[in-house]
Amino acid sequence: MLTIWGRLNSHNVKKVAWAAVEMGIAHRRIDIGGKFGFTPEYLAMNPNRMIPTIEDDGFVLWESNAILRYLAQKYAPTLLPADPQVRASGDKWMDWQFHFADAQRDAFLGLVRHTPETRDEAAVARSAEASGAMMRILDAELAKRPWLSGDEFGIADMPMGVYAHTFYTLAMPRPDLPHLAEWYARLQTRPGFAENVMIPLT
């Protein structure tokens, strides 16, 4: 059985937990990181003090997007486009997600992790503006094709799918992005998205 280590209110853990449901993989998840801390056994597997980590039939792997690619290749190859150029285009958006995470971080931390009294409102505003600007780029991409993975849903949609939920949940101003909104609405119908992604941000 696949084991996923990581607390579910982590963006990167959400990706992997969603993928496991999407791919029909029997699995268990163990809370670790954040308020749960790290055990010596966990740090022996992943010395980076980061989550998630998986163990699959004795094989240990960390880095969330590497995990997504591994799980798809082993359990659900239909979620990986056969055409190398289409697959590479999806990979681009998987890596781009980390740049978006940087842009959204101050809004997330300020609005979720801080009280109004300790919040840096200027940092939140800058982050909200930066997040909206980057989502305009994604909206333009989704005007050209229905999924970040190409013509069909695939693993390239999962990383930004998780962050899109946060983008639409945070109490901050957002631009009108119709293609992004339509894509996000379709993601909400996917197995595992509501269960593992559409949960409280705290």
Residue 193 three-state SS: helix
Q: Is the pLDDT of residue 167 over 90?
A: yes
CB–CB of 54/61 below 8 Å?
A: yes
List pLDDT tens digits, range 17-49.
Answer: 999 999 999 999 999 999 999 999 999 999 999
Determine the CATH number of domain 2-78: 3.40.30.10
Q: How far is residue 67's CA from residue 22's CA, in Å, rounded to a whole number? A: 14
Determine which of 96-100, 183-187, 190-194 has the lowest per-residue pLDDT on average: 190-194
Mean pLDDT for the stretch of residues 193-201: 93
Q: Which two tokens stand for residue 137?
A: 């780029």
Residues of the chain with pLDDT > 70, as a percent, come to 100
Mean pLDDT for the stretch of residues 53-73: 98
DSSP code, position 77 = G
Q: How confident is the model at residue 138 (pLDDT cuts 50, 70, 90)?
A: very high
Q: Which residues pair with 2 in a beta bridge?
A: 27
Q: Is the pLDDT of residue 15 over 90?
A: yes
> What are the CA-CA distances from residue 201 to residues 91, 101, 167, 173 (Å)?
26, 14, 11, 17
Q: Is the pLDDT of residue 14 over 90?
A: yes
Q: How confident is the model at residue 71 (pLDDT cuts 50, 70, 90)?
A: very high
Q: Which residues pair with 14 in a beta bridge?
A: none
Question: Counting Cβ atoms within 10 Å, is residue 14 exposed (0-12), middle (13-18) or buried (19+)?
Answer: buried
- What pLDDT is stored for residue 120 in this prediction? 95
In the chain, which ranges are E strands?
2-5, 27-30, 53-56, 59-62
For CATH 3.40.30.10, list the domain ranges present in the chain. Answer: 2-78
For CATH 1.20.1050.10, list the domain ranges present in the chain. Answer: 81-196
Determine the CATH number of domain 81-196: 1.20.1050.10
Query: Does the pTM of the predicted model rise above 0.85?
Result: yes
- What pLDDT is stored for residue 191 in this prediction? 87
Q: How far is residue 125's CA from residue 96's CA, in Å, rounded to a whole number? A: 22
Provide the phi-psi class of 73: left if phi over 0, else alpha when psi is between -120 and 50, else beta.
alpha
Nearest to 78 by CA among 161, 163, 147, 160: 147
Greater pLDDT, 143 or 201 = 143
